Structure 1
Amino acid sequence: MTEPIQPITLPPATEPQQEGQWLQAALHRWLDREFIPEPVNQRIAQRAAQVFVRQRMEGENDLGALVIAIVTEMQAFDFSKSFYSEFAIANAVSDLLLDSLGIDRCCGQ
């Protein structure tokens, strides 16, 4: 029988604005590298970082809950000038955060 995936909890936010700045820059770089650099990438990264910072300031530390919040709130974003969707953005944020924590995201590890 398979084991359930354990939740991933981020350390409590001591500098949520600084975390948001890092996330915005890292996500913007990722967006530009994945396909082509386009002006909308900056707005996408900025919006995702705003959602992340607000959630962290409200005390959210669970990575799964943060990803769901980003998916939910990014649904209102106009992705018509982008190759991305709210799901791609939330997954990228998750990957960036896991990488920053040194957690290997390959193969369910």
Structure 2
Amino acid sequence: MSEPIPPITLPPAENPQTEGEWLQHVLQRWLDEEFLPEPGNHQIAQRAAQIFVRQRMEGENDLGSLVLAIVTEMQAFDFSQSFYGEFAIANAVSDLLLDSLGIDRCCGQ
């Protein structure tokens, strides 16, 4: 029988605003490099970072819960002028956070 994947817990937030600024910067860079730089990438990264900061300020440290919050709240964002959607953004945030923690995200490791 398969073992469940253990949750990934971020360290407690010491400065959520700084984390949010970092996330906004790296997410926008990822968005611009993944397909094409688009005018909406800044707004997408800004909104995702706002959600992330608010969640962290409320004490959320579970990566899965953060991803779900981003998916849920980004559903209200207008992606009509973008290549992206809420799931792509939440997955990118997860990958960027895992990379920043030095966690290998390949093959479920």
What range describes the TM-score normalised by the shorter chain of this pair?
Answer: over 0.9
Matched pairs, number: 109
Structure 1 consecutive aligned stretches of length 4 or more whose deviation exceeds 2 Å:
none
Offset at residue 2 of structure 1 (A): 1.1
CA distance in 2, matches of 1:55, 1:77: 17
CA distance in 1, matches of 2:42, 2:33: 13
- Give the percent of matched residue pairs that are identical in Structure 1 and Structure 2: 83
CA distance in 2, matches of 1:2, 1:29: 37
Please tell me whether residue 4 in structure 1 is matched to residue 21 in structure 2. Answer: no
What are the ranges of 5 or more consecutive residues in structure 2 without an aligned counterpart?
none
Offset at residue 18 of structure 1 (A): 0.1
Offset at residue 21 of structure 1 (A): 0.2
SS of alignment partner, residue 28 of structure 1: helix
CA deviations over 1:25-57 (Å, ceiling 9, x no partner): 000000000000011000000000000000000
TM-score scaled by length of structure 1: 1.00
CA distance in 1, matches of 2:5, 2:86: 23
User: What's the counterpart of residue 40 of structure 1?
Assistant: 40
User: What's the counterpart of residue 53 of structure 1?
Assistant: 53
Offset at residue 90 of structure 1 (A): 0.1
User: What RMSD over aligned residues (CA atoms) do the two structures have, in Å?
Assistant: 0.3
CA distance in 2, matches of 1:36, 1:3: 39
Alignment of 1:6-85 (within 5 A): 6-85=6-85
TM-score scaled by length of structure 2: 1.00
